[in-house]
């Protein structure tokens, strides 16, 4: 596994967490230490675009983007298969795969993009379905956000996630 890609995936995952003072500080520190590359560039833009916003503003932005009546559905299984038996099977597989390598979904469903990115940092060979669905799911997320809110800073995090998926799934 490319160590730089794994590190970048972990930082992208930080960007997809619900914002807290701690997670934002970790994000800023982590982004500053990333080597160059397309994903790092997008993450630096994200940090630049959120700088100066209050925690309350960032919480509202995150919630509007990913949670309540979200602009973006961050569930790769849902984007691939809808609410079908196949998604349920995938989530059960991902839950087991994450448990095996010590990745806690952190209260999210196992097909949520954030724990999936953390899972990618922990494995050499990702679950085979991820190679098939991850990048197309992220592309759908980007299109959703671009259509709903083209200046939303989270477009940068999704662009970085797409780069990581492309590099990781080759």
* Ramachandran angles phi, psi of 88, nearest 5°: -60, -40
**pLDDT tens, residue by residue, 8-56:** 999 999 999 999 999 999 999 999 999 889 999 999 999 999 999 999 9
pTM of the model: 0.92
**pLDDT tens, residue by residue, 95-137:** 999 999 999 999 999 999 999 999 999 999 999 999 899 999 9
**3-168 has which CATH code?**
1.10.3480.10
35 burial via Cβ count (<10 Å: 0-12, 13-18, 19+): exposed
Which residues are CB-contacts of 157 (< 8 A; sequence separation ≥ 6)?
A: 12, 15, 16, 42, 43, 46
In whole angstroms, give the CA distance from residue 38 to residue 154: 15
Residue ranges of domains in the chain: 3-168
């Amino acid at each position: 596994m490319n160590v730089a890609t794994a590190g970048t995936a972990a930082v992208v995952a930080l960007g997809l967490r619900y914002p807290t003072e701690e997670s934002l500080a970790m994000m800023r520190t982590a982004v500053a230490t990333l080597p160059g590359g397309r994903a790092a560039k997008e993450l630096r833009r994200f940090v630049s675009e959120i700088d100066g916003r209050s925690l309350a503003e960032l919480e509202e932005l995150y919630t509007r983007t990913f949670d309540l009546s979200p602009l973006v559905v961050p569930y790769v299984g849902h984007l691939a298969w809808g609410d079908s038996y196949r998604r349920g099977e995938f989530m059960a597989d991902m839950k087991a795969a994450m448990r095996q390598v010590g990745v806690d979904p952190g209260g999210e469903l196992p097909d949520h993009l954030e724990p999936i990115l953390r899972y990618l940092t922990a494995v050499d060979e990702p679950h085979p379905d991820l190679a098939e669905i991850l990048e197309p799911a992220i592309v759908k997320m980007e299109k959703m956000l671009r259509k709903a809110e083209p200046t939303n800073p989270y477009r940068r995090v999704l662009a970085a996630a797409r780069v990581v998926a492309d590099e990781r799934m080759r």
